[in-house]
Amino acid sequence: MVERESRLLVDHPSLWRGEELVGRTDWQILLTGLEIEELQTAAERLLQQPVESIEPAGIELPLLGPRLKQIGHDLEHGCGAAWLRGLPADLDQALLGRIFWVVALHLGTPLSQSAEGERLFSVADKGYASDDPRTRGPNTNRKLSYHTDRCDVIGFCCHRQAKSGGENRIVSSMALYNEILKQRPDLLAVLCEPFYYLRHTVDGGNDKPWCQQRVFSFCEGHFAANLLRVLINRAHAHPDLPDLTAQQVEALDLVETLADEPHLHCSFRQEPGDLFFVNNWVNLHRRTEFEDWPEPDRRRHILRIWLSMPNSRPLDPLFADNYGSVEAGALRGGMKAKVEN
């Protein structure tokens, strides 16, 4: 792989297009009966312990452990995504949450996802008004744009699914890079330059009001893509930060347009018990709009974990402001907990 100045097509196992992902052996993982029994037994032993206090020490998975190690390798060096299926659909939230946490601990280190320090985050429509500062994409039922989260790997665990909609869509960032290079190399050059990001409204523990990040970058030969357009748009609207140029807006629009092309993205729907992990540096993801059930105990509920991975890639130095560290394998990402005076 080459540094960004060379503007050559990238080639890597993380490069895939559309439905070809479905047939890959490093993508869909069907858990065996014995692996499921092992996970449930481990989680049941932890039911009396607060889930976020559970540490890796003492949790042994002799059957599934080696497979999870391979999944961790493939998330970085393979297609960058893993869909684990086979868990019973009727597990209660307490047990399912601990199963999810145990799996996550075998992959990486869970990170804070809010100023309150939540590491196991509930994704559900909270019904907040659009101008409520607590509103973030995960707590609405609206369609989300293609984006990445502030971690190496993001994990989703489906507890309950919506009445309709709520599909997952992912797209290889490398495929997008190559497409833009072929179609609009002038706009690729723009996407390899820094964009301003305003601090998120829920990122109250962050003392930096803004930062800069590239959409596409290379560091020591390693590719990385990162995008959260809502924070770019908020920076554009901020009086103290420069406006986006017409070319920057065109470049960002092209990323979103290409990502929605059926021949480039993969669409699927998690069902109760499904676990899904995706490497944020090589894939963008989004969720489609959904219609929920009227009964509160049937409404869509997804558990989410942000992970810092021990085998992560080095990053462009600009990411230090938002991730804390950019060295390969460093503990990085997440939101700082807010310290009350």
Residue 267 confidence (pLDDT): 95
Q: What pLDDT is stored for residue 327 in this prediction? A: 98
Answer for the pair 195, 328: CB distance below 8 angstroms, yes or no.
Answer: no
Q: What is the model's pLDDT at position 203?
A: 73
pTM (two decimals) = 0.94
Name the one residue in this structure whose structure tokens are 């989260």.
149
Structure tokens at 94: 């307490």
Q: What is the 3-state secondary structure (H, E, C) of 137-168?
A: HHHCCCCCCCECCCCCEEEEEEEECCCEECCE
Q: d(Cα 296, Cα 291) in Å, to the nearest integer? A: 13
Residue 278 contacts residue 26 (beta carbons within 8 Å): no
329 φ/ψ sector (left φ>0, alpha ψ -120 to 50, else beta) = left
Confidence (pLDDT) at 125: 80
Condensed to tens digits (0 to 9), the pLDDT of residues 236-292 reads: 999 999 999 999 999 999 999 999 999 999 999 999 999 999 999 999 999 999 999
Contact 112, 336 (CB under 8 A): yes
Question: Which residues neighbour 341 within 8 Å (Cβ) at sequence distance 6 or greater?
Answer: none
Spatial distance between the Cα atoms of 204 and 34, rounded to a whole number of angstroms: 44
Residues of the chain with pLDDT under 70: 1-6, 127-137, 205, 339-341
**Cα 1 from Cα 97, distance rounded (Å):** 39
Give the pLDDT confidence score for residue 109 in this predicted structure. Answer: 98
pLDDT at 133: 61
How many residues does this entry show for the chain?
A: 341
Q: How far apart are CA 228 and CA 232, in angstroms?
A: 7
Cα 82 from Cα 182, distance rounded (Å):
29
Q: Taking Cα atoms as reference points, which of 30, 150, 36, 29 lies closest to residue 81?
A: 29
DSSP 56: S
- Judge whether 148 and 308 are in contact, CB under 8 Å: no
The two three-digit tokens of residue 158, written as one number: 């489906």
Q: Any idea what DSSP says for residue 110? A: E
Query: Given its phi and psi angles, is residue 16 left (phi above 0), alpha (psi -120 to 50 degrees) or beta?
Result: beta
Distances (CA, A) of 183 to 188, 226, 295: 9, 20, 48
pLDDT value of residue 2: 37
